[in-house]
Amino acid sequence: MSDKLLTSWLESANGDTDFPIQNLPYGVFDDGKGPRVGVAIGDQIIDVTAIDHGQDAALFAVPAWNLFMAAGSDVWSSFRARLTALLSDENNRAAIEPHLVPQADARMLLPFIVAEYTDFYAAKNHAFNVGSMFRGPENALPPNWLSIPIGYNGRASSVVVSGTDVTRPWGQVKGPNDDLPRFAKCARFDLELEMGAIVGTPSSGMVSVAEADEMIFGYVLLNDWSARDIQAWEYQPLGPFQSKATATTISPWIVPKAALAPFRTSTPDRERDLLPYLSEPGPMLYDIELEVGLAPEGKAESIISRTNYSQMYYSAAQQLAHHTSSGCVMRTGDMLGSGTISGESKESRGSLLELSWGGKEPLKLASGDERSFLEDGDVLTLRGAAKGDGYRVGFGECTGKVLPAIDLPDWAQD
């Protein structure tokens, strides 16, 4: 039987679900009995610590997937095969069913311990749009952009799981009419629709793109919350800093690379030949449909963007290979943000900065509201899925609500 036709004895895993047997993503949950590692199937979570998984139990003793990730691809494959057998054969129902926890009854936690976080700027449409706003279309792309995956080192401490509220930041800003900078609440708070690649096995030196691809354990949805007014003042000459340190929200489920394998697709034709160390042995991107929902507080959600991960100019494997090119050691639990994923049309732009063209073209929502940038109470939800024949491999939701900025302490006021 082909993989696309495989079904589970758990009925909710068949049909309209992000989590069919073809997916089996990894998360950490707490149902009131303490945090444990689990795997999503249909509307349930398998408590991995309680089943006969065929692996060393020590790999699952900590409520994070890092030890398992570090064990390598052979362990990943055998564990996935075991789960597939347990969930597809009716004879295993009695052994597994007592260890299923309804997702509705569980609180999701960060699925892994984030070692380091690097965010890239690797979708051409996004880079062109942003560059056009500030430098004009003739100088939109930096001179190095077509040759090198551009990135910056972010804060691992900023990474939070879906459902975590995000507080509007304060920061130093200087507008066009300001003589001097001032300390103010962010007035141009934004989202960035991204994917995150999770490093499983570490590196000890420079690796090829093919080797980098083998190191990647899986993928998450990622929202790189961005304070655009703070960013505009601080980013020269060294790039983003505090403007990107407020929060980075990820989906609670790591979709394994193996689940996405049927959806591989190629990066675009190169406008400039890449150097040999960035050459790809085959398709390195994935056909993953993505969308962004925005709901003002107490109002209906509007879908404000639809795009696809296949829009990236550089794949996660190329980003990872480039990261190691200086001898930089990559560790289990490192996360690489793709950069904002934008398509060619206005409706496929992955940030409000682009959707409202810097605030000059406010976005009209179904609720009747308008948005140039995020307002307090707004709820942002990222969704994504790779769609097969009769099933989809989804990530669940990646959501966060914007809370008002904190009251500024006396010592920080003028």
What is d(CA 307, CA 342) in angstroms, rounded to the nearest whole number?
Answer: 6
pLDDT band at 323 (very low <50, low <70, confident <90, very high): very high
State the number of CA atoms in the 13 A half-sphere of 182 facing the CB: 11
Within its chain, how far is the Cα of 385 from the centroid?
A: 12
* 159 backbone dihedrals φ, ψ, rounded to 5°: -80, 125
- Would you tell me how many other CB atoms lie within 10 Å of the CB of residue 161? 20
3-state helix, strand, coil in the chain (%, to 5): 30, 30, 45
Per residue in 132-177, pLDDT (tens digit) is: 998 999 999 999 999 999 999 999 999 999 999 999 999 999 998 9
| Per CATH, domain 117-405 is 3.30.470.20 | no
Q: Do domains 3-109 and 117-405 have the same CATH topology?
A: no
- Over residues 38-78, the pLDDT tens digits come to 999 999 999 999 999 999 999 999 999 999 999 999 999 99
Is the full-model pTM beyond 0.75? yes
Which residues are known catalytic residues? 126
pLDDT band at 413 (very low <50, low <70, confident <90, very high): confident
- Inform me whether the pLDDT recorded for 14 exceeds 90: yes
Domain 3-109 sits in CATH at 2.30.30.230
The full set of domain ranges for the chain reads 3-109, 117-405
Question: Three-state secondary structure along 174-242?
Answer: CCCCCCCCEEEECCCEECCEEEEEEECCCCCCCCCHHHHHHHEEEEEEEEECEEHHHHHHHCCCCCCCH
- Is the peptide bond between 276 and the residue preceding it cis, with omega within 30 degrees of 0? no
Q: pLDDT tens-digit profile of 295-305?
A: 999 999 999 99
